[in-house]
Amino acid sequence: MNIKNELLSRLYVVTATFIIVAIVIFGQAARIQIEEGDRWRAKGDSVHLKYVAIEADRGNIMSEDGLLLASSMPFFEIRFDLNSSGMNNKAFDEHIDSLAYYLAYHTDRSLSPEDYKKFLVRKKAQGERYLLIKKNVDYNELQKFKKFPLFKYGQNRGGFIVIRKSKRERPFGQLARRTIGYVRENAQPIGIEGYFDDVLSGTAGKQLMERINRSTYIPVDDLTLIAPEKGLDVVTTLDIDLQDVVHEALKSGLQRHQADHGSVILMDVKTGAIKAISNLGKSKQYGYIETYNYAVGESTEPGSTFKLATVLSLLEDGYINVEEEINIQGGKMKFYDRTMKDSHPHGMDTVTIAKAFAISSNVGIASIANQYYTREKGAKRLYANLKSMGLTERTGIEIQGEAAPIIKDPNDPKVYYSGTTIPWMAHGYELSLTPLQLLSLYAAVANDGRKMKPYIVKSYARDGKITQNFYPKIDIKRIASKSTIKTAKRLLELVVEEGTAKSARSGRFTFAGKTGTAVTNYSKKGAKSKYQASFAGYFPADDPQYACIVTISEPSQKGYYGSSVALPIFRKIADKCFSMKEDLMPDLQEYASLNQNQHFVIGSNEDLRWLIQNLNIQPLTETNAKFGVLIGQKDSVLLKERIITKNRIPNVVGMGLRDAVYLLENEGLKVTVSGFGKVKKQSILAGTHTKGQQIHLSLG
């Protein structure tokens, strides 16, 4: 009996223990479910669900008139969730035949509709939830897919998954490609894309994704999408027509001289706005392409184009009068242990400083600088003047990678000035500048001494509406006195009138500037010389609108001087600008409103020359243009070109009927006439774009 009771007692204890443990377990489970359930459920879900960042579309980069220079073009990837929770077997069976027919036609045509159906059925049976249907689908094609059987019900009921992607496109190809730039993973951001990345990139969105296997996530549904916000558009100052002109002129020049690389910048003198910028380098496979921004990133010894800065300093310090004479010793002079030569043999000895500048005498400019700036105080004075011109600092252009100028600072004890430093600096050696930094100086002279900060972005925009404007900024109010600037302008004009740029003079317009030729590998003794040819200037000379610099590195044939390599490119660009821009073409209005007391004849050049010859008169100016204006002077006549611009209505006021009708009909216009005599009035303003209009001429 005692044994039985003992066994029962033990059984009761064990049973009670189990009951207590069970109560504790169930109690804990209930507590966790009630108190911590949300946290643990969220943790469980996080294994299968997560938010994934959705990249925003980048903003566009646009020309000044709204043309796309860079844009993110959307494309799509179509996926099929064959086991979507909202799609039942009945719906699948009802639509699979017609869906297979459409997919066979619009995707893989090697499969028949029947084969495509079998393929889809097999994938569904395998539990496929992320089947690739088609890549690289454009927007219009996507709209067709959205109307396909079953897909039209969307992701939940139809299993239709759309993955949006984008590709950066540049509609104008190589035009300003390096300046526009790019942003790539594991690469240095370049150009406008890099500088304005924060503005262009927008704000990323989020999409809740469900994990369906170890490595694959699919979107849960559209309700969980936090849409990304597209980046702002960046509107540049670039004029695409001028950009095309600059690009083609540079490319043609590089090809002609088989140069290694080159750059051109065209800048608005009064604002500092970059209107065009081209950088082309030689590629064995592709010819000349935009591979590096030489105009902004390459700092080199400029050569004779730097003489402008030297002369500005000498004038500002009151050391020289450009009409005084100096001895240039036939273009050869020794400075300490080094001999300097002028690039062109000329045999001249005594010339004015103005003449020395015009013919680009290295000896002439270097000897004057050496006279006044060689000693320590003089070197510091020269450096201070160059600093006041803004030549010792970067321009701050909104493009990644601007190189710093290198000009020796005599105030720095670590900097060494030899006995030949000043004379060689005076003509553009022992220092380096980028083409943009040097152009800024020429633009400042053209702008009466006011130096504008170069800029290439004028506004931000969203959906066609401006959100922020950027305005021209004065970098330096005056780089030199009025008298110094006036003299400098005259010197630059002399270069074209009677100096190294004389060969490029135009009867249509005036321009001013300076040629430059620099040896780039002089430190390699015995090596064949390599050159950099350049021309920096502005036009029109009497009312400057544009400043331009052309820099060509390592031309290998048909010359290497700035006057023979870079200058013709500058001239070609200026010619095109005058043909394209109405504000540079005074001829459109000038001769339509000539002083009534002034005698003039307008017509074909052939007729005007016949008239001159028969009157036995020698004109003061010549032109080879097809049409001209003969203007009577007191003792002679001026023969000036009547500018005719393609696709624009010409100015025919003052012409005879035959010439006027010929010109207008050549532009596709329908001409009606009233009256007798010469054209007194035309019904459509000269310079208007031609669109096959009808134009009426009143004669009188």
Each residue's pLDDT tens digit, 356-370? 999 999 999 999 999
Rg (C-alpha) for the chain, rounded Å, is 38
Which run of H or of E encompasses 192? helix 191-195
Give mean pLDDT, residues 584-613.
53
Assign 620 a pLDDT band (cuts: 50, 70, 90). Answer: very low
Each residue's pLDDT tens digit, 641-693? 666 777 778 888 878 887 788 888 888 888 888 877 788 888 887 777 777 78
In sequence order, the 6+-apart residues with CB closer than 8 A to the CB of 266 are 242, 246, 274, 275, 276, 277, 546, 547, 548, 573, 577
Find where tokens 């070197």 sit: 379
Each residue's pLDDT tens digit, 469-504? 999 999 999 999 999 999 999 999 999 999 999 999
Which run of H or of E encompasses 169? strand 160-169
Strand-strand pairing, 474-476 and 451-452: antiparallel
Cβ atoms 519, 531 nearer than 8 A: yes
Each residue's pLDDT tens digit, 84-117? 888 888 889 999 999 999 998 888 778 899 999 9
Amino acid of residue 404? A
Least confident of 294-303, 334-343, 441-450: 334-343
Q: Which of 590, 581, 648, 587 is nearest to 268 (CA)?
A: 581
Q: Which of 438, 427, 292 is nearest to 356 (CA)?
A: 427
Report whether pLDDT(7) > 90: no
CA 35 to chain centre: 62
- For the chain, the structural domain boundaries read 2-35, 52-234, 244-582, 592-699
| Average of per-residue pLDDT values in the chain | 86
384-388, 462-466, 631-635: range with highest mean pLDDT: 384-388
pLDDT reported for residue 44: 52
Assign 202 a pLDDT band (cuts: 50, 70, 90). Answer: confident
Each residue's pLDDT tens digit, 430-462? 999 999 999 999 999 999 999 999 999 999 999
| CA–CA separation, 220 and 671 (whole Å) | 68
Each residue's pLDDT tens digit, 514-570? 999 999 998 888 788 999 999 999 999 999 999 999 999 999 999 999 999 999 999
CB under 8 Å, gap of 24 or more: what pairs does 466-474 form? 466/235, 467/232, 472/270, 472/271, 472/272, 472/273, 473/272, 474/450
pLDDT reported for residue 475: 96
Assign 210 a pLDDT band (cuts: 50, 70, 90). Answer: confident
Find where tokens 């960042």 sit: 53
Cβ atoms 450, 474 nearer than 8 A: yes
Q: Does domain 52-234 have CATH number 3.90.1310.10?
A: yes
In sequence order, the 6+-apart residues with CB closer than 8 A to the CB of 386 are 309, 313, 392, 407
Each residue's pLDDT tens digit, 30-67? 666 666 666 555 555 555 777 777 778 899 999 998 99
Assign 698 a pLDDT band (cuts: 50, 70, 90). Answer: confident
Report whether pLDDT(8) > 80: no
pLDDT reported for residue 588: 39
Assign 594 a pLDDT band (cuts: 50, 70, 90). Answer: very low
Assign 591 a pLDDT band (cuts: 50, 70, 90). Answer: very low
| CA–CA separation, 13 and 7 (whole Å) | 10
pLDDT reported for residue 592: 40
Of 144 and 618, which is predicted with more confidence? 144
11-25, 131-145, 209-223: range with highest mean pLDDT: 131-145
186-190, 301-305, 614-618: range with highest mean pLDDT: 301-305
SS3 11: helix
SS3 211: strand
| CA–CA separation, 620 and 507 (whole Å) | 11
pLDDT reported for residue 517: 97
Let me know if the fold of 52-234 is the same as that of 244-582: no
Report whether pLDDT(11) > 80: no
Strand-strand pairing, 338-341 and 332-335: antiparallel
Q: Which two tokens stand for residue 310?
A: 């030297």
What architecture is the 244-582 domain classified under in CATH?
Answer: 3-Layer(aba) Sandwich (3.40)
Q: Which of 355, 331, 334, 333 is nearest to 343 (CA)?
A: 331
| CA–CA separation, 301 and 532 (whole Å) | 9
Report whether pLDDT(157) > 60: yes
Assign 395 a pLDDT band (cuts: 50, 70, 90). Answer: very high
Is the bond leading into 544 cis (omega within 30 degrees of zero)?
no
Which run of H or of E encompasses 630? strand 627-632
pLDDT reported for residue 618: 59
